[in-house]
């Protein structure tokens, strides 16, 4: 079941950008691997997934809403979070909503499959594969801190990853360290 494996190395690498004690939304959280990891680092985590079995497992780390976010209403309307985490999930119609959920000073950590993955396995449908540079185009209003796109081995897959932050509304200059302090 998705969410029982180790946390994504991308999420682990960039979690230091999340302000201490922040609220975190884990979208399509599965069994809650990122919820567990981020809760252990002192964040208040919330998850959402449509699989009731996964939701039951993830609830050990924080509240989880069982919802079909592709066909139903967005359960977090009007809410923002200090971090929004998305891995191995793509629903293009939801991308602007996810970006709008990043609070001022907050972070978006996103990683999923990209075009080319159809040559090595699943997912292989174009609906589930980001096109070249797609994440860069959808983060309007956020500032890119890190971006990767390409092929990685073991397991063989094509991925696209981004870390982006929403600027402080008061214009304060903030340093976004590329490595943990």
Q: Residue 146: which of 160, 162, 130 has the closest Cα? A: 162
User: Domain range spanning residue 120?
Assistant: 9-165
127 occurs within a structural domain? yes
Q: What is the CATH number of the domain that holds 17?
A: 3.40.50.150
145 occurs within a structural domain? yes
What is the per-residue pLDDT across 114-149, written as a single tens digit (0 to 9) for each? 988 888 989 889 889 889 999 999 998 899 999 999
Q: Look at residue 170 and tell me whether its pLDDT is greater than 80.
A: no
Q: Are 34 and 48 in contact (CB under 8 A)?
A: no
The total number of structural domains in the chain stands at: 1
14 occurs within a structural domain? yes
pLDDT band, residue 2 (cuts 50/70/90): low
179 occurs within a structural domain? no
180 occurs within a structural domain? no
Pairwise CA distance, residues 156 & 148, whole Å: 16
Q: How far is CA 91 from CA 59, 60, 107, in A?
A: 23, 26, 19
4 occurs within a structural domain? no
Strands (DSSP E) found in the chain: 23-27, 44-49, 64-66, 81-87, 102-113, 143-152, 157-165
181 occurs within a structural domain? no
């Amino acid at each position: 079941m998705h969410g029982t494996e180790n946390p994504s190395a991308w999420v682990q690498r960039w979690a230091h950008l999340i302000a201490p004690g922040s609220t975190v939304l884990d979208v399509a959280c599965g069994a809650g691997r990122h919820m567990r990891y981020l809760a252990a680092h002192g964040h208040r985590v919330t998850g959402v997934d449509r699989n009731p079995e996964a939701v039951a497992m993830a609830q050990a780390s924080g509240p989880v809403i069982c919802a079909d976010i592709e066909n139903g209403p967005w359960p977090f309307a009007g809410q923002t979070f200090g971090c929004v985490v998305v891995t191995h999930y793509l629903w293009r119609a939801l991308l602007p909503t996810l970006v709008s959920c990043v609070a001022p000073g907050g972070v978006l950590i996103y990683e999923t499959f990209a075009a080319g993955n159809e040559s090595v396995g699943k997912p292989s449908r174009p609906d589930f594969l980001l096109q070249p540079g797609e994440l860069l185009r959808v983060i309007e209003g956020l500032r890119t801190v890190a971006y990767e796109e390409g092929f990685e081995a073991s397991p063989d897959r094509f991925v696209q990853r981004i870390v982006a932050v929403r600027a402080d509304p008061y214009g304060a200059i903030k340093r976004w360290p590329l490595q943990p302090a």
